[in-house]
């Protein structure tokens, strides 16, 4: 089987999985109840959540620029905003949430090499995950009583694993030593593309990483507040601590590319998690779809910007 056929079959399987999971989740929630939840939702807090999602794009562009500046790459802020919107478009329609990162790297344009773009994009993404799980750890003392011990343990282990793994990645010496005997193309200590990109990751420096973590803290706090607004729009009586715990779990699960843009997987996870705090399946599914719609709104704007840039010949400009 050639690679193109294999990829086509994998994507078809992911589409079928998405459809099957969504059908199961909606049948569990009840289509009539779900429609009623959506129709009776308060649009005002939801509109504010959409606005915060747009602000989130700007904050993440600032975070990436901090890292690029640290490795002496100079990319205009406006282009970074454009790349984040374009990335949102591809993230919304590809099986994994990393497709947009590839687009950001490939179309970085003037002021940065591909290795600088790739290395800083990795740090950019990781600092967001680190803070997301740190917030979950902060929330554990306030919300752990709401969850079964197994769920609490999973959250704590994920937070610890992300933190430790990222620290080892940023520090550099241990991973270079471990991979020194690997083939040149796979060694983090070598001068092949992977090694050069890893050099950019470690060259960011702890000051820039701290700055990126600070921007990530602002971004994640804001998006958790957006989640609270969505919950209020659907009349869900949940605390912000609950969202600090549930959103990281759902985000981590979506890294496994078994469906298109996490459809079905996300909804099933939120139904399961919210059930632990007494929220029925119907509003939980409505929350999940509304949460996804924040990314989808950014994707629609990103799609328009991306194709307009293509018409104007601005993609990947050197």
Name the band, by pLDDT with cuts 50, 70 and 90, for residue 318: very low
Q: What per-residue confidence (pLDDT) applies to 307?
A: 86
What is the distance between the alpha carbons of residues 65 and 79, in angstroms, rounded to a whole number? 10
What's the whole-number mean pLDDT along residues 146-154?
77
Mean pLDDT of 114-136: 91
Position 317 pLDDT exceeds 60: no
158 or 77, higher pLDDT? 77
Assigned domain for 286 exists: yes
Per-residue pLDDT at 257 exceeds 80: no
269 within domain boundaries = yes
Backbone phi, psi, residue 43, to 5° = -75, -15
Residue-averaged pLDDT of the chain? 86
Residues 6+ apart with CB under 8 A from 123: 67, 170, 201, 204, 208, 209, 212
The pLDDT assigned to 278 comes to 85
Q: Which residue has the tokens 């060259």?
A: 203
Alpha carbon separation from 184 to 30, 178, 192 (Å, rounded)? 55, 13, 6
| Domain around 155 | 3-311
**Is residue 137, in this structure, part of any structural domain at all?**
yes
Closest listed residue to residue 216, CA positions, set 72, 106, 66: 66
Per-residue pLDDT at 100: 78
pLDDT of residue 316: 54
The total number of structural domains in the chain stands at 1
Whether 318 is in a domain gets the answer: no
Report yes or no on 316 lying in a domain: no
- Residue 242 domain-assigned (yes or no): yes
């Amino acid at each position: 089987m050639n690679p193109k056929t294999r990829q086509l079959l994998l994507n078809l399987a992911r589409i079928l999985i998405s459809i099957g999971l969504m059908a199961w989740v909606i049948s569990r929630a009840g289509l009539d109840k779900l429609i009623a939840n959506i129709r009776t939702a308060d649009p005002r807090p939801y509109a504010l959540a959409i606005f915060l999602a747009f602000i989130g794009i700007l904050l993440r562009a600032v975070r990436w620029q901090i890292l690029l500046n640290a490795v002496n790459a100079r990319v205009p802020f406006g282009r970074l905003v454009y790349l984040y919107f374009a990335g949102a478009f591809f993230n919304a329609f590809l099986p994994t949430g990393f497709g947009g990162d590839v687009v950001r790297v490939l179309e970085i344009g003037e002021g940065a090499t591909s290795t600088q773009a790739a290395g800083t994009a990795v740090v950019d993404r990781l600092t967001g995950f680190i803070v997301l799980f740190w917030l979950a750890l902060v929330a554990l003392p306030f919300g752990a009583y709401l969850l079964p011990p197994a769920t609490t343990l999973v959250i704590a282990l994920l937070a610890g694993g992300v933190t430790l793994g990222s620290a080892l990645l940023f520090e550099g010496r241990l991973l270079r030593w471990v991979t020194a005997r690997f083939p040149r193309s796979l060694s983090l200590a070598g001068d092949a593309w992977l090694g050069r990109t890893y050099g950019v990751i470690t060259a960011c420096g702890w000051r820039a990483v701290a700055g990126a973590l600070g921007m990530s803290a602002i971004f994640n706090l804001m998006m958790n507040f957006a989640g609270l607004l969505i919950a209020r729009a659907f009349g869900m009586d949940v605390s912000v601590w609950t969202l600090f715990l549930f959103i990281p779990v759902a985000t981590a699960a979506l890294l496994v590319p078994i469906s298109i843009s996490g459809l079905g997987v996300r909804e099933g996870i939120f139904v399961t998690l919210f059930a632990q705090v007494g929220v029925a399946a119907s509003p939980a599914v409505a929350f999940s779809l509304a949460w996804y719609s924040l990314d989808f709104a950014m994707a629609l704007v990103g799609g328009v910007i991306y194709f307009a840039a293509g018409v104007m010949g601005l993609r990947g400009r050197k």
